């Protein structure tokens, strides 16, 4: 999906014009992938724009930076405030928000310590990803394995990690699928190229634990909470590949994917090949919350104060 530019981008505490948010070609991040980032949605609630789970996303951003020994000059509260400021100024919502911390222009070489830290916050309109609410998608098991322990930290949302995701995504696309599912180094199900994975088997909701090279997804955590609210039994356990084929239902979760049903895996229909009842119930509850049809009972939203509370972009 093409990026639609907005007016300003937050850079190290100040709003700057979109076209001035540039980095030098010798920036460390370009040569060595030294960045951590987040993907966050701001929804158009009846009360106005609101950021979904802003605090949790920025906590993960700070944790990712800590894993990679990137010192931040801004607190979590200041970064959340920066997101609010950017959305309010650009007056574009619903939207996607991309905070990114990167190593900038300093010295050449793998050693990152002498390269300055830059923080940017960007927001822009963005719609559905994969199959959306009702359709679902056809996926394959990737030939590319997820990151192994003690190679790259899977719990950190780092730019370098997504080279692995790109290989999975490209392989899926050229073979006619919407997405790929990676296995971990032991052959158990891990996640998609940019989504967490759930299956339903014998009326239980099952998802791989973080130890299977799984990113601790914020939407994943939200779905686990929603499942508890709906009294759906939950298991976090290792999932053998063949369970993908005999599952009654399967779906992806993520900021981009939200809750997207999986129709088939490796051309084998998941259940009836349609969105199943458990997936539908979770989708219904999730979208009712993020569209403001139900109250924010878990305090997941950070409101963005604006003068005009009507959606500006869809």
Angle, CA 96 vertex, CA 90 and CA 98 arms, to 5°: 90
Q: Is 196 in contact with 209 (CB distance < 8 Å)?
A: no
What lies within 8 Å, CB to CB, of 190 at 6+ separation is 146, 181, 182, 183, 184, 197, 208, 212, 213, 214
What lies within 8 Å, CB to CB, of 186 at 6+ separation is none
Of the residues 14, 128, 157, 280, which is catalytic?
Answer: 157
Q: Is 157 a catalytic residue?
A: yes
| Burial degree of 301 (CB within 10 A; 0-12, 13-18, 19+) | buried
Known catalytic residues are 157
């Amino acid at each position: 999906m093409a990026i639609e530019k907005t007016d300003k981008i937050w850079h190290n505490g100040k709003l700057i014009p979109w076209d001035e948010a540039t980095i030098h070609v010798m920036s460390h991040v370009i040569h060595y992938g030294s960045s951590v980032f987040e993907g966050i949605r701001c929804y158009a609630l009846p009360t106005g724009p609101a950021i979904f789970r802003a605090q949790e996303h920025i906590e993960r951003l700070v944790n990712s930076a800590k894993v990679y020994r990137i010192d931040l000059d801004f607190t979590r509260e200041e970064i959340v405030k920066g997101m609010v400021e950017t959305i309010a100024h650009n007056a574009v919502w619903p939207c996607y928000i991309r905070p990114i911390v990167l190593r900038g222009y300093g010295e050449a070489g793998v050693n990152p310590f002498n390269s300055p830290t830059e923080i940017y916050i960007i927001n822009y309109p963005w719609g559905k990803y994969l199959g959306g609410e009702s359709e679902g998608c056809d996926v394959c098991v990737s030939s590319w394995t997820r990151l192994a322990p003690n190679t790259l930290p899977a719990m950190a949302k780092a730019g370098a990690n997504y080279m692995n995701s790109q290989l999975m995504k490209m392989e899926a696309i050229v073979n006619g699928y919407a997405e790929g599912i990676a296995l971990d180094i032991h052959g158990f199900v891990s996640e998609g190229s940019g989504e967490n994975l759930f299956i339903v088997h014998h009326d239980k909701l099952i998802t791989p634990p973080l130890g299977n090279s799984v990113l601790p997804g914020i939407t994943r955590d939200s779905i686990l909470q929603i499942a508890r609210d709906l009294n759906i039994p939950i298991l976090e356990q290792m999932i053998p590949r063949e369970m993908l084929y005999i599952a009654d239902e399967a779906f992806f979760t993520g900021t981009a994917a939200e809750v997207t049903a999986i129709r088939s895996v490796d051309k084998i229909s998941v259940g009836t090949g349609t969105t199943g009842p458990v997936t539908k119930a979770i989708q219904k509850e999730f979208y009712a919350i993020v569209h403001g049809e139900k109250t924010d009972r878990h305090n997941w939203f950070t409101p963005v104060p604006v003068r005009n509370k009507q959606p500006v972009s869809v």
